[in-house]
Structure 1
Amino acid sequence: MGRVHCAAIPMAVAVQTDMATPALADFGSDSLKREFLRPTVEGDMVACIGVSEACAGSDVAAIRTRVHWHGSDLIIDGSKQWITNGNQADWICLLANTNENESIHRNKSLICVRLDEPGIHRSKRIEKLGMHSSDTAEIYFDSVRVPSRNIIGEEGRGFVYQMLQFQDERLVAVAVLLEPLQRIIDLTIEYTRERRIFGKSVLDNQVVHYRLAELQTEIETIRSLLYRAVMERLSGSDVTLLASMGKLKAARLARTITDSCLQFWGGNGYTWDNPVSRYHRDFRLFSIAGGCDEVMLNIICKYMQTIN
Protein backbone atom coordinates (compact mmCIF):
# COMPACT_ATOMS: atom_id res chain seq x y z
CA MET A 1 0.00 0.00 0.00
CA GLY A 2 2.96 2.31 0.50
CA ARG A 3 3.47 2.32 -3.26
CA VAL A 4 0.09 3.99 -3.78
CA HIS A 5 0.98 7.64 -4.31
CA CYS A 6 -1.92 8.86 -2.22
CA ALA A 7 -1.63 8.54 1.56
CA ALA A 8 -5.39 8.60 2.14
CA ILE A 9 -5.97 5.26 0.40
CA PRO A 10 -3.67 3.20 2.65
CA MET A 11 -5.18 5.02 5.63
CA ALA A 12 -8.72 4.05 4.61
CA VAL A 13 -7.66 0.41 4.26
CA ALA A 14 -5.74 0.52 7.56
CA VAL A 15 -8.88 1.68 9.37
CA GLN A 16 -10.57 -1.46 8.09
CA THR A 17 -7.76 -3.88 8.93
CA ASP A 18 -5.86 -2.44 11.88
CA MET A 19 -7.97 0.14 13.71
CA ALA A 20 -11.63 -0.91 13.77
CA THR A 21 -11.24 -4.70 13.87
CA PRO A 22 -8.34 -5.88 16.11
CA ALA A 23 -10.38 -5.85 19.34
CA LEU A 24 -13.24 -7.63 17.61
CA ALA A 25 -10.85 -10.28 16.31
CA ASP A 26 -9.18 -10.75 19.71
CA PHE A 27 -12.09 -10.41 22.13
CA GLY A 28 -15.37 -10.52 20.20
CA SER A 29 -17.87 -13.35 20.46
CA ASP A 30 -18.21 -15.85 17.63
CA SER A 31 -21.58 -14.39 16.66
CA LEU A 32 -20.17 -10.84 16.51
CA LYS A 33 -17.29 -12.04 14.36
CA ARG A 34 -19.70 -13.72 11.96
CA GLU A 35 -21.89 -10.62 11.77
CA PHE A 36 -19.19 -7.92 11.53
CA LEU A 37 -15.63 -9.25 11.23
CA ARG A 38 -16.04 -11.82 8.48
CA PRO A 39 -17.84 -9.54 5.97
CA THR A 40 -15.38 -6.75 6.79
CA VAL A 41 -12.35 -8.94 6.10
CA GLU A 42 -13.99 -10.23 2.92
CA GLY A 43 -14.59 -6.65 1.76
CA ASP A 44 -18.37 -6.81 1.84
CA MET A 45 -18.64 -4.25 4.66
CA VAL A 46 -16.74 -1.03 5.36
CA ALA A 47 -15.76 -0.34 8.96
CA CYS A 48 -14.79 2.77 10.88
CA ILE A 49 -13.56 3.46 14.40
CA GLY A 50 -15.41 5.86 16.70
CA VAL A 51 -13.24 7.21 19.51
CA SER A 52 -12.56 10.96 19.02
CA GLU A 53 -15.15 13.55 19.97
CA ALA A 54 -15.34 17.33 19.86
CA CYS A 55 -14.14 17.57 23.46
CA ALA A 56 -12.11 14.36 23.66
CA GLY A 57 -9.39 13.66 21.13
CA SER A 58 -6.07 12.83 22.76
CA ASP A 59 -7.83 12.48 26.14
CA VAL A 60 -9.71 9.28 25.33
CA ALA A 61 -10.93 8.82 28.90
CA ALA A 62 -12.90 12.09 28.61
CA ILE A 63 -15.36 10.89 25.94
CA ARG A 64 -19.00 11.78 26.60
CA THR A 65 -20.91 9.39 24.33
CA ARG A 66 -22.89 7.24 26.72
CA VAL A 67 -25.18 4.27 26.90
CA HIS A 68 -28.39 3.89 28.87
CA TRP A 69 -29.46 0.31 29.49
CA HIS A 70 -33.01 -0.65 28.59
CA GLY A 71 -33.44 -4.30 29.46
CA SER A 72 -31.02 -6.21 27.25
CA ASP A 73 -30.67 -3.29 24.84
CA LEU A 74 -28.28 -0.35 24.77
CA ILE A 75 -29.55 3.17 24.04
CA ILE A 76 -26.67 5.28 22.66
CA ASP A 77 -26.50 9.08 22.75
CA GLY A 78 -23.56 11.24 21.71
CA SER A 79 -21.36 12.06 18.76
CA LYS A 80 -18.02 11.15 17.21
CA GLN A 81 -15.70 13.39 15.21
CA TRP A 82 -12.92 12.92 12.62
CA ILE A 83 -14.26 9.54 11.57
CA THR A 84 -12.29 8.14 8.61
CA ASN A 85 -14.61 6.21 6.24
CA GLY A 86 -17.45 7.82 8.19
CA ASN A 87 -19.81 8.60 5.30
CA GLN A 88 -19.43 5.24 3.57
CA ALA A 89 -18.97 2.84 6.50
CA ASP A 90 -21.50 0.10 7.16
CA TRP A 91 -20.65 -0.18 10.84
CA ILE A 92 -18.62 1.52 13.55
CA CYS A 93 -16.51 0.14 16.39
CA LEU A 94 -17.80 2.63 18.95
CA LEU A 95 -16.21 3.51 22.29
CA ALA A 96 -18.88 4.67 24.74
CA ASN A 97 -19.49 5.00 28.47
CA THR A 98 -21.63 2.07 29.60
CA ASN A 99 -21.45 2.28 33.42
CA GLU A 100 -21.71 5.64 35.18
CA ASN A 101 -20.82 4.06 38.53
CA GLU A 102 -17.29 3.06 37.52
CA SER A 103 -14.10 5.10 37.07
CA ILE A 104 -13.33 6.68 33.70
CA HIS A 105 -10.99 3.83 32.79
CA ARG A 106 -13.47 1.08 33.73
CA ASN A 107 -16.77 2.52 32.54
CA LYS A 108 -16.27 2.16 28.78
CA SER A 109 -17.09 -0.54 26.25
CA LEU A 110 -16.44 -1.09 22.58
CA ILE A 111 -19.68 -1.71 20.70
CA CYS A 112 -20.35 -2.83 17.12
CA VAL A 113 -23.05 -0.55 15.71
CA ARG A 114 -24.58 -0.74 12.24
CA LEU A 115 -24.72 2.74 10.78
CA ASP A 116 -28.13 2.29 9.18
CA GLU A 117 -29.84 2.13 12.58
CA PRO A 118 -32.58 4.71 13.29
CA GLY A 119 -31.25 7.76 15.11
CA ILE A 120 -27.86 7.86 13.39
CA HIS A 121 -26.99 10.98 11.40
CA ARG A 122 -23.81 11.67 9.46
CA SER A 123 -22.38 15.08 8.62
CA LYS A 124 -21.24 16.13 5.20
CA ARG A 125 -17.66 15.30 4.32
CA ILE A 126 -15.12 17.38 6.26
CA GLU A 127 -12.67 19.30 4.05
CA LYS A 128 -9.08 19.03 5.26
CA LEU A 129 -5.60 20.38 4.50
CA GLY A 130 -4.56 17.02 3.04
CA MET A 131 -5.79 13.44 2.70
CA HIS A 132 -8.41 14.75 0.27
CA SER A 133 -9.44 11.32 -0.98
CA SER A 134 -10.17 10.24 2.59
CA ASP A 135 -13.81 10.33 3.64
CA THR A 136 -13.90 12.09 7.04
CA ALA A 137 -17.16 12.75 8.86
CA GLU A 138 -18.93 13.47 12.13
CA ILE A 139 -21.48 10.89 13.28
CA TYR A 140 -24.33 11.63 15.69
CA PHE A 141 -26.24 9.12 17.81
CA ASP A 142 -29.72 10.07 19.01
CA SER A 143 -31.23 7.30 21.17
CA VAL A 144 -29.79 4.58 18.95
CA ARG A 145 -30.87 1.13 20.11
CA VAL A 146 -28.59 -1.89 19.70
CA PRO A 147 -28.57 -5.27 21.49
CA SER A 148 -26.14 -5.63 24.39
CA ARG A 149 -24.65 -8.68 22.66
CA ASN A 150 -22.93 -6.17 20.35
CA ILE A 151 -20.47 -5.28 23.12
CA ILE A 152 -17.00 -6.56 22.25
CA GLY A 153 -15.58 -8.77 25.00
CA GLU A 154 -16.31 -7.75 28.57
CA GLU A 155 -18.47 -4.75 29.39
CA GLY A 156 -16.31 -2.07 31.00
CA ARG A 157 -13.08 -3.21 29.32
CA GLY A 158 -13.41 -0.94 26.31
CA PHE A 159 -10.70 1.51 27.36
CA VAL A 160 -8.18 -1.32 27.72
CA TYR A 161 -9.21 -2.87 24.40
CA GLN A 162 -8.86 0.49 22.66
CA MET A 163 -5.38 1.03 24.08
CA LEU A 164 -4.44 -2.35 22.59
CA GLN A 165 -5.94 -1.34 19.25
CA PHE A 166 -3.81 1.79 19.33
CA GLN A 167 -0.69 -0.41 19.38
CA ASP A 168 -1.64 -1.89 16.01
CA GLU A 169 -2.73 1.47 14.63
CA ARG A 170 0.56 3.12 15.50
CA LEU A 171 2.69 0.31 14.10
CA VAL A 172 0.70 0.45 10.87
CA ALA A 173 1.23 4.23 10.72
CA VAL A 174 4.99 3.64 10.77
CA ALA A 175 4.77 0.95 8.10
CA VAL A 176 2.56 3.07 5.86
CA LEU A 177 5.04 5.95 5.97
CA LEU A 178 8.28 4.14 5.13
CA GLU A 179 7.70 3.36 1.46
CA PRO A 180 6.45 6.81 0.38
CA LEU A 181 9.20 8.51 2.38
CA GLN A 182 11.72 6.45 0.45
CA ARG A 183 9.98 7.42 -2.78
CA ILE A 184 10.20 11.11 -1.89
CA ILE A 185 13.95 10.81 -1.42
CA ASP A 186 14.33 8.85 -4.66
CA LEU A 187 12.29 11.41 -6.60
CA THR A 188 14.31 14.23 -5.09
CA ILE A 189 17.60 12.57 -6.03
CA GLU A 190 16.36 12.15 -9.59
CA TYR A 191 15.13 15.74 -9.82
CA THR A 192 18.19 17.37 -8.25
CA ARG A 193 20.51 15.31 -10.43
CA GLU A 194 18.84 16.67 -13.59
CA ARG A 195 18.15 20.20 -12.36
CA ARG A 196 21.13 22.45 -13.06
CA ILE A 197 22.01 25.72 -11.37
CA PHE A 198 25.23 27.77 -11.44
CA GLY A 199 26.72 25.39 -13.97
CA LYS A 200 26.20 22.12 -12.09
CA SER A 201 23.40 19.89 -10.87
CA VAL A 202 21.66 20.74 -7.61
CA LEU A 203 22.66 17.31 -6.33
CA ASP A 204 26.36 18.18 -6.73
CA ASN A 205 26.05 20.63 -3.84
CA GLN A 206 27.34 19.04 -0.65
CA VAL A 207 24.55 20.51 1.45
CA VAL A 208 22.04 18.62 -0.72
CA HIS A 209 23.60 15.16 -0.94
CA TYR A 210 24.71 15.20 2.70
CA ARG A 211 21.20 16.10 3.81
CA LEU A 212 19.70 13.31 1.71
CA ALA A 213 22.19 10.88 3.27
CA GLU A 214 21.06 11.93 6.75
CA LEU A 215 17.41 11.45 5.83
CA GLN A 216 18.10 8.02 4.32
CA THR A 217 19.81 6.98 7.55
CA GLU A 218 16.77 8.08 9.56
CA ILE A 219 14.48 5.96 7.40
CA GLU A 220 16.58 2.85 7.97
CA THR A 221 16.71 3.49 11.72
CA ILE A 222 12.93 3.65 11.93
CA ARG A 223 12.59 0.58 9.71
CA SER A 224 14.72 -1.41 12.17
CA LEU A 225 12.60 -0.20 15.10
CA LEU A 226 9.46 -1.26 13.24
CA TYR A 227 10.79 -4.75 12.54
CA ARG A 228 11.68 -5.24 16.20
CA ALA A 229 8.28 -3.98 17.35
CA VAL A 230 6.39 -6.23 14.94
CA MET A 231 8.40 -9.29 16.02
CA GLU A 232 7.62 -8.57 19.67
CA ARG A 233 3.96 -7.91 18.86
CA LEU A 234 3.69 -11.27 17.08
CA SER A 235 5.26 -12.99 20.09
CA GLY A 236 2.52 -11.55 22.31
CA SER A 237 4.59 -8.87 24.05
CA ASP A 238 3.34 -5.44 25.04
CA VAL A 239 4.75 -3.08 22.41
CA THR A 240 3.16 0.13 23.65
CA LEU A 241 6.56 1.75 24.23
CA LEU A 242 8.05 0.73 20.88
CA ALA A 243 4.85 1.61 19.00
CA SER A 244 4.81 5.05 20.62
CA MET A 245 8.47 5.64 19.83
CA GLY A 246 8.01 4.51 16.25
CA LYS A 247 4.91 6.62 15.71
CA LEU A 248 6.61 9.70 17.17
CA LYS A 249 9.79 9.36 15.13
CA ALA A 250 8.11 8.35 11.86
CA ALA A 251 5.59 11.21 12.01
CA ARG A 252 8.30 13.75 12.74
CA LEU A 253 10.55 12.32 10.07
CA ALA A 254 7.70 12.58 7.55
CA ARG A 255 7.50 16.30 8.27
CA THR A 256 11.26 16.68 8.04
CA ILE A 257 11.69 14.75 4.79
CA THR A 258 8.82 16.43 2.97
CA ASP A 259 9.96 19.88 4.10
CA SER A 260 13.63 19.30 3.22
CA CYS A 261 12.90 17.73 -0.14
CA LEU A 262 10.32 20.36 -1.06
CA GLN A 263 13.05 22.95 -0.48
CA PHE A 264 15.36 21.15 -2.91
CA TRP A 265 12.62 21.23 -5.57
CA GLY A 266 12.48 25.02 -5.29
CA GLY A 267 9.47 26.72 -6.86
CA ASN A 268 8.37 23.45 -8.47
CA GLY A 269 8.00 21.94 -5.01
CA TYR A 270 5.55 24.65 -4.02
CA THR A 271 3.06 23.78 -6.77
CA TRP A 272 -0.18 22.04 -5.89
CA ASP A 273 0.27 18.97 -8.10
CA ASN A 274 3.89 18.26 -7.19
CA PRO A 275 4.15 14.83 -5.49
CA VAL A 276 6.35 16.16 -2.69
CA SER A 277 3.92 18.97 -1.86
CA ARG A 278 1.07 16.48 -1.81
CA TYR A 279 2.92 14.26 0.65
CA HIS A 280 3.79 17.38 2.65
CA ARG A 281 0.07 18.10 3.11
CA ASP A 282 -0.98 14.48 3.65
CA PHE A 283 1.74 13.48 6.11
CA ARG A 284 1.18 16.43 8.45
CA LEU A 285 -1.73 14.43 9.83
CA PHE A 286 0.49 11.70 11.27
CA SER A 287 1.70 13.96 14.11
CA ILE A 288 -1.94 14.51 15.11
CA ALA A 289 -4.04 11.42 14.33
CA GLY A 290 -3.76 8.13 16.19
CA GLY A 291 -2.22 9.89 19.18
CA CYS A 292 -0.46 13.22 18.73
CA ASP A 293 3.28 13.66 19.25
CA GLU A 294 2.75 15.01 22.75
CA VAL A 295 0.74 11.94 23.78
CA MET A 296 3.48 9.68 22.41
CA LEU A 297 6.05 11.57 24.49
CA ASN A 298 3.83 11.26 27.55
CA ILE A 299 3.59 7.48 27.11
CA ILE A 300 7.36 7.18 26.67
CA CYS A 301 7.94 9.26 29.80
CA LYS A 302 5.65 6.99 31.82
CA TYR A 303 7.64 3.93 30.74
CA MET A 304 10.84 5.80 31.67
CA GLN A 305 9.23 6.62 35.05
CA THR A 306 10.05 10.29 34.64
CA ILE A 307 6.37 11.18 35.24
CA ASN A 308 3.57 9.47 37.15
Structure 2
Amino acid sequence: MDKTEMEIFMQQFQGNLTKSLKEELTLSLKQEVTQSLCTHITEQIAPLVGRVNKVEVTVSDHEKRISELEEKVMEEKSRNMDEKLSNDTEKRKRNLVVFNLEEENNEDYEKLERKIITVIKTNMKVNCNPQDIDYVSRLGKEMNNNRPVLIRFTTLKKKLEVLKNRNNLKNSKYNIDEDFSKELREKRKLLIPEMLRLRKENKRAVLRFDKIVVLGENQTQRQEDKTDLTQRQNYEQLMDTEDMEQDKKRKRYREFNFKPKKIPNPANSTGLQPAGTQMNQVMNQNEIITTGGASVTNTINKGTSD
Protein backbone atom coordinates (compact mmCIF):
# COMPACT_ATOMS: atom_id res chain seq x y z
CA MET A 1 0.00 0.00 0.00
CA ASP A 2 1.57 3.24 -1.05
CA LYS A 3 1.46 6.50 0.85
CA THR A 4 -1.52 7.87 -1.03
CA GLU A 5 -3.63 4.80 -0.40
CA MET A 6 -2.62 4.87 3.27
CA GLU A 7 -3.76 8.46 3.63
CA ILE A 8 -7.08 7.64 1.98
CA PHE A 9 -7.57 4.66 4.27
CA MET A 10 -6.77 6.71 7.40
CA GLN A 11 -9.15 9.42 6.36
CA GLN A 12 -11.95 6.89 5.82
CA PHE A 13 -11.20 5.17 9.13
CA GLN A 14 -11.19 8.49 10.97
CA GLY A 15 -14.49 9.47 9.36
CA ASN A 16 -16.16 6.17 10.26
CA LEU A 17 -14.86 6.33 13.82
CA THR A 18 -16.05 9.89 14.26
CA LYS A 19 -19.47 9.00 12.91
CA SER A 20 -19.78 5.95 15.18
CA LEU A 21 -18.67 7.87 18.27
CA LYS A 22 -21.03 10.72 17.39
CA GLU A 23 -23.98 8.32 17.10
CA GLU A 24 -23.11 6.59 20.38
CA LEU A 25 -22.71 9.89 22.20
CA THR A 26 -25.96 11.21 20.75
CA LEU A 27 -27.85 8.08 21.79
CA SER A 28 -26.33 8.12 25.26
CA LEU A 29 -27.10 11.80 25.66
CA LYS A 30 -30.69 11.25 24.55
CA GLN A 31 -31.11 8.45 27.07
CA GLU A 32 -29.66 10.55 29.87
CA VAL A 33 -31.84 13.53 28.98
CA THR A 34 -34.94 11.33 28.70
CA GLN A 35 -34.23 9.67 32.03
CA SER A 36 -33.62 13.02 33.65
CA LEU A 37 -36.84 14.45 32.24
CA CYS A 38 -38.84 11.41 33.37
CA THR A 39 -37.41 11.67 36.86
CA HIS A 40 -38.13 15.39 36.98
CA ILE A 41 -41.68 14.99 35.67
CA THR A 42 -42.36 12.15 38.10
CA GLU A 43 -41.15 14.29 40.98
CA GLN A 44 -43.37 17.15 39.84
CA ILE A 45 -46.45 14.98 39.21
CA ALA A 46 -46.26 12.96 42.43
CA PRO A 47 -47.65 15.79 44.64
CA LEU A 48 -50.38 16.47 42.07
CA VAL A 49 -51.37 12.80 42.06
CA GLY A 50 -51.55 12.90 45.83
CA ARG A 51 -53.75 16.00 45.75
CA VAL A 52 -56.02 14.44 43.10
CA ASN A 53 -56.39 11.33 45.24
CA LYS A 54 -57.33 13.49 48.22
CA VAL A 55 -59.87 15.39 46.10
CA GLU A 56 -61.35 12.10 44.91
CA VAL A 57 -61.72 10.95 48.51
CA THR A 58 -63.31 14.29 49.43
CA VAL A 59 -65.72 14.09 46.49
CA SER A 60 -66.61 10.52 47.43
CA ASP A 61 -67.30 11.61 51.02
CA HIS A 62 -69.50 14.47 49.84
CA GLU A 63 -71.36 12.25 47.39
CA LYS A 64 -72.06 9.88 50.26
CA ARG A 65 -73.20 12.81 52.41
CA ILE A 66 -75.43 14.13 49.62
CA SER A 67 -76.93 10.66 49.17
CA GLU A 68 -77.65 10.45 52.90
CA LEU A 69 -79.21 13.93 52.87
CA GLU A 70 -81.36 13.02 49.86
CA GLU A 71 -82.61 9.96 51.74
CA LYS A 72 -83.41 12.12 54.75
CA VAL A 73 -85.25 14.62 52.54
CA MET A 74 -87.28 11.81 50.97
CA GLU A 75 -88.09 10.44 54.43
CA GLU A 76 -89.11 13.92 55.57
CA LYS A 77 -91.32 14.37 52.49
CA SER A 78 -92.92 10.99 53.12
CA ARG A 79 -93.49 11.85 56.78
CA ASN A 80 -94.94 15.24 55.85
CA MET A 81 -97.27 13.60 53.35
CA ASP A 82 -98.42 11.10 55.98
CA GLU A 83 -99.00 13.93 58.45
CA LYS A 84 -100.86 15.92 55.81
CA LEU A 85 -103.15 12.98 55.04
CA SER A 86 -103.63 12.33 58.73
CA ASN A 87 -104.47 15.99 59.41
CA ASP A 88 -106.76 16.11 56.38
CA THR A 89 -108.61 13.02 57.58
CA GLU A 90 -108.82 14.39 61.11
CA LYS A 91 -110.26 17.71 59.90
CA ARG A 92 -112.80 16.03 57.68
CA LYS A 93 -114.12 14.01 60.59
CA ARG A 94 -116.01 17.10 61.76
CA ASN A 95 -117.09 18.23 58.27
CA LEU A 96 -120.41 17.91 56.47
CA VAL A 97 -121.55 19.29 53.09
CA VAL A 98 -125.05 20.71 52.53
CA PHE A 99 -126.56 20.82 49.03
CA ASN A 100 -129.36 23.00 47.60
CA LEU A 101 -129.21 25.67 50.30
CA GLU A 102 -130.44 28.94 48.79
CA GLU A 103 -127.67 31.43 48.04
CA GLU A 104 -128.41 35.14 48.28
CA ASN A 105 -126.56 38.08 46.79
CA ASN A 106 -123.99 39.56 49.18
CA GLU A 107 -124.49 36.66 51.55
CA ASP A 108 -122.25 37.16 54.57
CA TYR A 109 -121.04 34.69 57.18
CA GLU A 110 -123.75 35.44 59.75
CA LYS A 111 -126.56 34.94 57.23
CA LEU A 112 -125.09 31.66 56.03
CA GLU A 113 -124.59 30.41 59.57
CA ARG A 114 -128.19 31.29 60.48
CA LYS A 115 -129.47 29.41 57.44
CA ILE A 116 -127.49 26.32 58.37
CA ILE A 117 -128.65 26.41 61.98
CA THR A 118 -132.27 26.85 60.83
CA VAL A 119 -132.06 23.80 58.54
CA ILE A 120 -130.47 21.70 61.28
CA LYS A 121 -132.99 22.76 63.94
CA THR A 122 -136.17 23.02 61.85
CA ASN A 123 -135.74 20.35 59.20
CA MET A 124 -133.46 17.88 60.94
CA LYS A 125 -134.88 18.32 64.47
CA VAL A 126 -131.43 18.62 66.03
CA ASN A 127 -130.61 21.24 68.63
CA CYS A 128 -127.83 23.48 67.27
CA ASN A 129 -126.41 26.89 68.14
CA PRO A 130 -123.48 29.02 66.90
CA GLN A 131 -121.20 27.49 69.54
CA ASP A 132 -121.61 24.10 67.86
CA ILE A 133 -120.22 25.37 64.55
CA ASP A 134 -116.53 26.04 63.97
CA TYR A 135 -117.22 27.72 60.63
CA VAL A 136 -119.37 27.50 57.50
CA SER A 137 -118.47 28.42 53.95
CA ARG A 138 -119.71 28.28 50.39
CA LEU A 139 -117.39 26.19 48.24
CA GLY A 140 -115.98 27.42 44.94
CA LYS A 141 -116.51 30.57 42.92
CA GLU A 142 -119.86 32.33 42.70
CA MET A 143 -122.10 30.93 39.97
CA ASN A 144 -125.75 31.07 38.97
CA ASN A 145 -126.62 27.98 40.99
CA ASN A 146 -126.54 27.35 44.72
CA ARG A 147 -123.02 26.40 45.73
CA PRO A 148 -122.61 23.60 48.28
CA VAL A 149 -121.91 24.65 51.86
CA LEU A 150 -119.20 23.13 53.99
CA ILE A 151 -119.83 22.98 57.73
CA ARG A 152 -117.17 22.20 60.31
CA PHE A 153 -118.57 21.45 63.74
CA THR A 154 -116.65 22.17 66.90
CA THR A 155 -117.08 18.58 68.07
CA LEU A 156 -117.30 15.24 66.34
CA LYS A 157 -120.22 14.35 68.59
CA LYS A 158 -122.41 17.14 67.18
CA LYS A 159 -121.48 16.24 63.61
CA LEU A 160 -122.47 12.60 64.18
CA GLU A 161 -125.72 13.70 65.79
CA VAL A 162 -126.61 15.78 62.73
CA LEU A 163 -125.56 13.02 60.35
CA LYS A 164 -127.65 10.49 62.24
CA ASN A 165 -130.77 12.61 61.66
CA ARG A 166 -130.29 13.40 57.98
CA ASN A 167 -133.22 11.16 57.04
CA ASN A 168 -135.39 13.98 58.40
CA LEU A 169 -134.50 15.86 55.21
CA LYS A 170 -136.20 13.30 52.94
CA ASN A 171 -139.25 15.55 52.36
CA SER A 172 -137.17 18.68 51.80
CA LYS A 173 -135.05 19.91 48.92
CA TYR A 174 -131.94 19.88 51.08
CA ASN A 175 -129.42 17.11 51.35
CA ILE A 176 -126.42 16.62 53.57
CA ASP A 177 -123.44 14.37 53.00
CA GLU A 178 -119.93 13.54 54.15
CA ASP A 179 -116.94 15.62 53.11
CA PHE A 180 -114.95 12.85 51.48
CA SER A 181 -111.16 12.82 51.29
CA LYS A 182 -109.34 13.14 47.98
CA GLU A 183 -108.44 9.43 48.02
CA LEU A 184 -112.04 8.40 48.62
CA ARG A 185 -113.26 10.76 45.89
CA GLU A 186 -110.88 9.09 43.45
CA LYS A 187 -112.21 5.64 44.36
CA ARG A 188 -115.81 6.79 44.00
CA LYS A 189 -115.05 8.33 40.60
CA LEU A 190 -113.86 4.96 39.32
CA LEU A 191 -117.06 3.29 40.56
CA ILE A 192 -119.52 5.67 38.87
CA PRO A 193 -119.44 4.05 35.37
CA GLU A 194 -120.22 0.64 36.88
CA MET A 195 -123.01 2.10 39.00
CA LEU A 196 -124.58 3.76 35.94
CA ARG A 197 -124.32 0.49 34.01
CA LEU A 198 -126.20 -1.32 36.78
CA ARG A 199 -128.88 1.38 36.81
CA LYS A 200 -129.40 0.93 33.05
CA GLU A 201 -130.18 -2.70 33.88
CA ASN A 202 -132.91 -1.37 36.20
CA LYS A 203 -130.93 -2.28 39.29
CA ARG A 204 -131.10 0.06 42.27
CA ALA A 205 -127.38 0.74 42.49
CA VAL A 206 -126.10 3.44 44.84
CA LEU A 207 -122.68 4.61 46.01
CA ARG A 208 -121.89 4.34 49.70
CA PHE A 209 -118.43 5.52 50.62
CA ASP A 210 -116.08 3.44 48.40
CA LYS A 211 -118.54 0.66 47.49
CA ILE A 212 -121.44 0.07 45.12
CA VAL A 213 -124.55 -1.23 46.90
CA VAL A 214 -127.41 -2.80 44.95
CA LEU A 215 -130.64 -2.37 46.93
CA GLY A 216 -133.21 -5.13 47.10
CA GLU A 217 -136.84 -4.57 46.14
CA ASN A 218 -137.93 -4.07 49.73
CA GLN A 219 -134.96 -1.94 50.77
CA THR A 220 -135.52 1.79 51.11
CA GLN A 221 -132.99 4.35 50.04
CA ARG A 222 -131.01 6.17 52.67
CA GLN A 223 -131.02 9.93 52.54
CA GLU A 224 -127.42 9.96 51.28
CA ASP A 225 -128.47 7.74 48.35
CA LYS A 226 -130.75 10.52 47.12
CA THR A 227 -127.97 13.02 46.53
CA ASP A 228 -128.22 14.07 42.92
CA LEU A 229 -125.34 12.44 41.04
CA THR A 230 -124.65 15.56 38.97
CA GLN A 231 -124.50 17.68 42.13
CA ARG A 232 -122.15 15.24 43.76
CA GLN A 233 -119.93 15.04 40.69
CA ASN A 234 -119.83 18.84 40.39
CA TYR A 235 -118.88 19.09 44.04
CA GLU A 236 -116.14 16.46 43.72
CA GLN A 237 -114.80 18.08 40.54
CA LEU A 238 -114.69 21.39 42.39
CA MET A 239 -112.79 19.82 45.28
CA ASP A 240 -110.34 18.11 42.90
CA THR A 241 -109.67 21.42 41.14
CA GLU A 242 -109.07 23.17 44.45
CA ASP A 243 -106.75 20.36 45.57
CA MET A 244 -104.70 20.73 42.38
CA GLU A 245 -104.44 24.49 42.86
CA GLN A 246 -103.27 24.00 46.45
CA ASP A 247 -100.69 21.42 45.29
CA LYS A 248 -99.39 23.84 42.64
CA LYS A 249 -99.05 26.62 45.22
CA ARG A 250 -97.16 24.34 47.60
CA LYS A 251 -94.88 23.15 44.78
CA ARG A 252 -94.05 26.70 43.68
CA TYR A 253 -93.49 27.73 47.29
CA ARG A 254 -91.10 24.83 47.94
CA GLU A 255 -89.22 25.27 44.66
CA PHE A 256 -88.65 28.92 45.57
CA ASN A 257 -87.52 28.23 49.14
CA PHE A 258 -85.63 24.95 48.79
CA LYS A 259 -82.98 26.04 46.27
CA PRO A 260 -79.71 24.24 47.25
CA LYS A 261 -76.69 26.36 48.09
CA LYS A 262 -73.29 25.59 46.51
CA ILE A 263 -70.31 25.38 48.84
CA PRO A 264 -68.29 28.56 48.18
CA ASN A 265 -64.80 26.97 48.16
CA PRO A 266 -64.63 24.01 45.76
CA ALA A 267 -60.93 23.44 46.60
CA ASN A 268 -61.82 22.36 50.13
CA SER A 269 -65.02 20.45 49.40
CA THR A 270 -67.57 19.81 46.67
CA GLY A 271 -71.27 19.14 46.54
CA LEU A 272 -74.42 20.79 47.79
CA GLN A 273 -75.24 22.08 51.19
CA PRO A 274 -78.81 21.63 52.54
CA ALA A 275 -80.50 24.65 54.04
CA GLY A 276 -81.67 22.88 57.21
CA THR A 277 -82.66 25.98 59.12
CA GLN A 278 -84.46 27.33 56.08
CA MET A 279 -86.32 24.01 55.71
CA ASN A 280 -87.65 24.26 59.27
CA GLN A 281 -88.75 27.84 58.67
CA VAL A 282 -90.61 26.89 55.49
CA MET A 283 -92.31 23.97 57.23
CA ASN A 284 -93.54 26.34 59.92
CA GLN A 285 -94.71 28.87 57.35
CA ASN A 286 -96.36 26.32 55.05
CA GLU A 287 -99.49 25.91 57.15
CA ILE A 288 -102.20 26.68 54.59
CA ILE A 289 -105.75 26.61 55.90
CA THR A 290 -108.01 24.54 53.65
CA THR A 291 -111.34 22.79 53.86
CA GLY A 292 -109.88 19.44 52.98
CA GLY A 293 -108.42 20.95 49.82
CA ALA A 294 -111.16 23.47 49.01
CA SER A 295 -110.74 27.22 49.18
CA VAL A 296 -112.80 28.99 51.79
CA THR A 297 -114.78 32.11 50.87
CA ASN A 298 -116.73 34.33 53.28
CA THR A 299 -115.14 32.37 56.14
CA ILE A 300 -114.55 33.46 59.73
CA ASN A 301 -112.90 30.91 62.02
CA LYS A 302 -114.59 30.38 65.33
CA GLY A 303 -113.51 28.30 68.28
CA THR A 304 -110.19 26.50 68.38
CA SER A 305 -108.16 26.08 65.20
CA ASP A 306 -107.00 22.66 64.04
Q: TM-score, normalised by structure 1?
A: 0.28
Task: State the structure with bigger RCO (CA 8 A, min sep 6), 1 or 2.
Answer: 2
Q: Counting strand residues as a fraction of each chain, which structure ranks higher? A: 1
Which structure's CA Rg is the greater one?
2
Q: Counting helix residues as a fraction of each chain, which structure ranks higher? A: 2
